[in-house]
Structure 1
Amino acid sequence: MDYILRSIYQERASQPETLGVILVNKREDQINLTDTFDTILLIIVKEAELPIFTKHYCYEDQKVAMHIITEQLLNKWIYIGKNRRIVDWVFHGKVLFERNEYLTNLKKTLEDFSFYGRKIKAGVQFAKLLRSYTEGKEFFQRGDHLDAYLHVVKSLQYLARLSIIESGLYPEVTVWSQVKKIEPSIYKLYEELVTSRETLEKRLELLFLAIEFSMNSKIQSCSQHIMEVLQSKELWTIQDLHNHHELKYYSVELELFIEFLIEKGYIIIERMKSKNESIDHRLYRANVNVHNHDLIK
């Protein structure tokens, strides 16, 4: 099997844009980690026409998946937490090839989880939490309790990941086993949602209050990254913010996060005359006088 796999990845490894090759074997206790494939070959490249390219192979009774991904896509997944299996593959996979210690340094970065990386990831996770919470609250107020329940579960997952990030660790696939040790209070909220004998409506009402309280306690730390970006120049259009290379990680949650920070007083709206005298441009600037306690409502 090793010989067969070597013939697949060696050609890729010889190409100058290839940064690293990782081998991941299926683990019987976590077969979904490899999408039930026996083996995963993860090849990271500097650039490519497609951000991800996949091929499937079979050898005797074994099935193999090869994923070629760009460094940019890998970084995006790491920061936004969209594909947490990738982190597990990088941490626990076998390094078959690396250029200039690329994978060694990547693992060290993930293990250290630098303060800068934490700021970005915390901001992105908070924006996702905000989306899930606001949409869930709307369902709840309309009486759609089952839809609200699903959003509360998602919100608790984002809260759990935030607590792990703030502790200086990287959220793994088994996030609840991590958070049970790190912040039992959030794990307790999840237990209350699932096991409480209260009516579903009452459980949801209490959980929304608890989530809102947790969100308010985290605004200052979780908005640090986006506020630092805003402070890098005086005024921003919304398109300027969308175009910023780091704020792209916030994706569709960016505008919701901006409006939330306006509501909390962290961002100030500036009006600028447009060609049409009856309407103004809406611009944004950081409120440099923001205080930790005065503006958290």
Structure 2
Amino acid sequence: MEDILRPIYQERASHPNTLGVLMIDYREKGSPITDTFDIVLLIIVKEAEQPLFIKHYTYLNQKAAMHIVSKDQLKEWMLLGSNRRIIDWIFNGKILFDRNEYITNLKLELREFPFYGRKIKIGLEFAKLIRRYMDGKVFFENKHYLDAYNHIVHSLHHLARLAVIENGFHPEVTVWNQVKQIEPEIFKLYEELVSSEEDLQKRLELLFIASEFLIHSRTNTSVEHLLVVMREKEQWSFQELQNHEEIKHYSVDLGMLIEFLTEKNVIEVVNVETKGQGIFHRYYRVKKKL
């Protein structure tokens, strides 16, 4: 099918706006990496009216998809981890066109995983972990065990991704295969949750205890990025944090993370008087002892 698609990607490659073209060819039917398509063409461009444009093709009994993505959208996906397939596509895709070695350098950047970019990703993943863990704990305490199970499964997934990032790798779609090699302790927790013959309540109880320890042991290193930003000023309102160029990526998980860190005495609350008697503005700052 590559021969059939060649005129399509060659036309795109001739545009000065095109930075590179990758082909992802998965022969296994039903592969989640390509959304069941036989071939995916990933075309990276400098600028685009739409950050992502997708077109589907059929040839005989095969199907292909073309994804045209702006470099800014690609960078955002890589930073936020919001499109997990993209790492696999860049690592394993066949380079069909590479203007000024853009894709070659992108692959190199992914392999080296710059330290500061890693710190941001660790912070974002930890925030998601805390959100799922805290929500799951509330469901568990209220005896909504199936809802608690759903959240603890997701929290373990975020913990697995966090462990992969800490070890200098990008989490891939098959993250549990990575974790099995990197942090078998987390993999065993996941196995215990999904395959143990203990009743659900008992499994969850043990998982929350184990997760509490794993979260506690990672807290200080996982929030380094947030604390570095917060030390730029004496104190912050929540809105100021939300508006910060880097912290805004924490999105809906920021509030839960701030409350968690307040409970753990990593961050402290500063009450600032308002015009209303007995009502205070709530500001946050990093604890001095840290």
TM-score by length of 2: 0.92
Q: 1:99 to 1:266 in 2, by over 3 A?
A: farther
Q: 1:214 to 1:69 in 2, by over 3 A?
A: same
Q: Please list the CA deviations of residues 114-165 of structure 1 after superposition, one character each: whole Å capped at 9, or x if unmatched.
A: 2212211111111111111111111111211111112111111111111111
Letter matched to residue 259 of structure 2:
E
Q: 1:185 to 1:59 in 2, by over 3 A?
A: same
Q: What 5-or-longer segments of structure 2 have no aligned partner?
A: none
Q: Please list the CA deviations of residues 240-264 of structure 1 after superposition, one character each: whole Å capped at 9, or x if unmatched.
A: 2222222232121112112212222
Partner of 2:92 in structure 1? 92
Structure 1 Cα separation of the partners of residues 179 and 77 of structure 2: 21
Task: State whether residues 79 and 249 of structure 1, in contact with CA within 8 Å, keep that contact through their aligned partners in structure 2.
Answer: no
Q: 1:148 to 1:268 in 2, by over 3 A?
A: same
- 2:115 pairs with 1:115: yes
- 2:231 pairs with 1:242: no
**Aligned-CA RMSD value:** 2.0
Partner of 1:165 in structure 2? 165
- 1:43-82 mapped onto 2 (5 Å cutoff): 43-82=43-82
Structure 1 Cα separation of the partners of residues 282 and 224 of structure 2: 23
Letter matched to residue 99 of structure 2:
R
Task: State whether residues 22 and 41 of structure 1, in contact with CA within 8 Å, keep that contact through their aligned partners in structure 2.
Answer: yes
Q: What 5-or-longer segments of structure 1 have no aligned partner?
A: 291-297
Structure 2 Cα separation of the partners of residues 92 and 243 of structure 1: 36
Partner of 1:211 in structure 2? 211
Structure 2 Cα separation of the partners of residues 21 and 141 of structure 1: 51
Aligned-pair CA distance for 1:97? 1.9
Task: State whether residues 51 and 69 of structure 1, in contact with CA within 8 Å, keep that contact through their aligned partners in structure 2.
Answer: yes
- For this pair of structures, how many residues does the alignment match? 290
Letter matched to residue 167 of structure 1:
N
Task: State whether residues 180 and 187 of structure 1, in contact with CA within 8 Å, keep that contact through their aligned partners in structure 2.
Answer: yes
Aligned-pair CA distance for 1:286? 2.5
Q: 1:248 to 1:6 in 2, by over 3 A?
A: farther
Aligned-pair CA distance for 1:102? 1.7
- Calculate percent identity across the aligned residue pairs: 56
Structure 2 Cα separation of the partners of residues 228 and 47 of structure 1: 32
Residue 101 of structure 1: SS of its match in structure 2?
Answer: helix
- 2:174 pairs with 1:138: no
Letter matched to residue 150 of structure 1:
N
Partner of 1:230 in structure 2? 230
Letter matched to residue 114 of structure 1:
P
Q: 1:288 to 1:15 in 2, by over 3 A?
A: farther
Residue 100 of structure 2: SS of its match in structure 1?
Answer: coil
Letter matched to residue 119 of structure 2:
K
TM-score by length of 1: 0.90
Structure 2 Cα separation of the partners of residues 188 and 219 of structure 1: 21
Residue 48 of structure 2: SS of its match in structure 1?
Answer: coil
Partner of 1:285 in structure 2? 285
Q: Please list the CA deviations of residues 15-37 of structure 1 after superposition, one character each: whole Å capped at 9, or x if unmatched.
A: 34332221111231762211111
Task: State whether residues 23 and 95 of structure 2, in contact with CA within 8 Å, keep that contact through their aligned partners in structure 1.
Answer: yes
- 2:43 pairs with 1:27: no
Structure 2 Cα separation of the partners of residues 16 and 278 of structure 1: 63
Aligned-pair CA distance for 1:173? 1.6
Q: 1:198 to 1:8 in 2, by over 3 A?
A: same
Task: State whether residues 29 and 38 of structure 2, in contact with CA within 8 Å, keep that contact through their aligned partners in structure 1.
Answer: no
Letter matched to residue 251 of structure 2:
S
Q: 1:44 to 1:237 in 2, by over 3 A?
A: farther
Structure 2 Cα separation of the partners of residues 87 and 80 of structure 1: 12
Higher mean C-alpha displacement, 4-13 vs 188-197: 4-13
Partner of 2:8 in structure 1? 8
